[in-house]
Structure 1
Amino acid sequence: MNNSLLILLQASQTPVPKDIPLPLPLPEWLLVIILVISFLAHIIFVNLMLGGSLLTLWAEVKGLKDKRYDHLAKEIAATITVNKSMAVVLGVAPLLSINVLYTVYFYSANALTGLMWIAVIPLVTAAFLLTYLHKYTWKLMENNKALHIAIMAFAVAIFLFIPFIFLTNINLMLFPEKWALVKGFLDALMLPNVFPRYLHFIFASLSVTGLFLFWYMSRKSYPFDELMPGFTRYDIQRKGYSLALTASVAQFMIGPIVLLTLPSKGIGWNLILVIVAGAAIALPAMWMIWKALTGQKEQMANSFYKVALLLGITVVFMGSGRHIYRSNALEKHRELVAAKTKDFAKARKQALANSNEKAEKEAGASLSGAEKGEKIFKQNCAACHKPHEKLVGPPVTEMASIYKGDVEGLKKWIRTPGKKRPDYPQMPGFPQINDGDMQNLTEYILTIK
Structure 2
Amino acid sequence: MILQHIFLQILLQTPIPHDIPLPLPLPHSVLVIALIFSFLLHIIFINLMLGGSILTLWSEIKGLKNPEYDKLAYELAQTITVNKSMAVVLGVAPLLTINTLYTLYFYSANALTGLFWIAIIPLTTLAFLLTYAHKYSWNVLKDNKALHISMIAASVVIFLFIPFIFLTNINLMLFPEKWNTISGFFEALALPNVFPRYLHFIFASLGVTGLFIFWYFGRTSFAFEEKFQSLSLYEIRKKAYSLTFSASVAQFLIGPIVLLTLPTKGISWQLILTISTGAAFAIPALFWIWKAITGQPEKIAKDFWKVTLLLTTTVVFMGSGRHLYRATALEPHQKLVAKETAKYQKEVQQAIKDANDPSKKPVVADAGEAIFTAKCSACHALDTKIVGPPVKEMVTIYEKDEKGLHDWIRKPGKKRPDYPQMPALGLSEQEIKDVATYILKQK
What runs of 5+ residues in structure 2 fail to find an aligned partner?
A: 368-443
Amino acid at match of 1:55: L
- Counterpart position of 1:8: 9
User: For 1:280-303, what per-residue CA distance to the aligned partner results, in whole angstroms no more than 9, with x for missing partners?
Assistant: 000000000000011001100010
TM-score (norm 2): 0.80
Structure 2 Cα separation of the partners of residues 356 and 176 of structure 1: 38
Structure 1 Cα separation of the partners of residues 8 and 356 of structure 2: 36
Amino acid at match of 1:8: Q
- Counterpart position of 1:434: none
Gap change, CA 1:346 and 1:223, over 3 Å in 2: same
Amino acid at match of 1:81: T
Bigger mean CA offset, 48-57 vs 349-358: 349-358
User: For 1:382-410, what per-residue CA distance to the aligned partner results, in whole angstroms no more than 9, with x for missing partners?
Assistant: xxxxxxxxxxxxxxxxxxxxxxxxxxxxx
Does structure 1 conserve the Cα–Cα contact (< 8 Å) formed by 2:8 and 2:332? no
Amino acid at match of 1:231: L
> What pairs up with 1:43-442 in 2 under 5 angstroms?
43-357=43-357, 361=361
How many residue pairs align between the two structures?
Answer: 366
Structure 1 Cα separation of the partners of residues 95 and 350 of structure 2: 36
Does structure 2 conserve the Cα–Cα contact (< 8 Å) formed by 1:6 and 1:336? no
- How far did residue 10 of structure 1 move? 4.2
Which structure is larger by alpha-carbon Rg, 1 or 2? 1
Structure 1 Cα separation of the partners of residues 11 and 186 of structure 2: 27
- Percent sequence identity is 65
Structure 2 Cα separation of the partners of residues 144 and 6 of structure 1: 59
Structure 2 Cα separation of the partners of residues 333 and 310 of structure 1: 36
Amino acid at match of 2:244: A
- Counterpart position of 2:428: none
- How far did residue 359 of structure 1 move? 9.3
Instruction: Name the SS of the counterpart of 1:114 in structure 2.
Output: helix
Amino acid at match of 1:35: L
User: For 1:85-115, what per-residue CA distance to the aligned partner results, in whole angstroms no more than 9, with x for missing partners?
Assistant: 0000000000011001011100000000001
- How far did residue 356 of structure 1 move? 2.8
Bigger mean CA offset, 221-230 vs 26-35: 221-230
Amino acid at match of 1:158: I
Structure 1 Cα separation of the partners of residues 112 and 131 of structure 2: 31
Does structure 1 conserve the Cα–Cα contact (< 8 Å) formed by 2:50 and 2:156? yes
- The Cα RMSD (Å) is 1.9
Instruction: Name the SS of the counterpart of 1:143 in structure 2.
Output: coil
Gap change, CA 1:287 and 1:217, over 3 Å in 2: same
Structure 2 Cα separation of the partners of residues 363 and 221 of structure 1: 85
Structure 2 Cα separation of the partners of residues 324 and 56 of structure 1: 36
Does structure 1 conserve the Cα–Cα contact (< 8 Å) formed by 2:354 and 2:360? no
What runs of 5+ residues in structure 1 fail to find an aligned partner?
A: 368-449
Does structure 2 conserve the Cα–Cα contact (< 8 Å) formed by 1:40 and 1:316? yes
Instruction: Name the SS of the counterpart of 1:23 in structure 2.
Output: coil
- How far did residue 361 of structure 1 move? 4.2
Q: List, as ranges, runs of 4+ consecutive aligned residues in structure 1 with deviation greater than 6 Å.
A: 363-367
Does structure 2 conserve the Cα–Cα contact (< 8 Å) formed by 1:15 and 1:176? no
Gap change, CA 1:358 and 1:223, over 3 Å in 2: farther
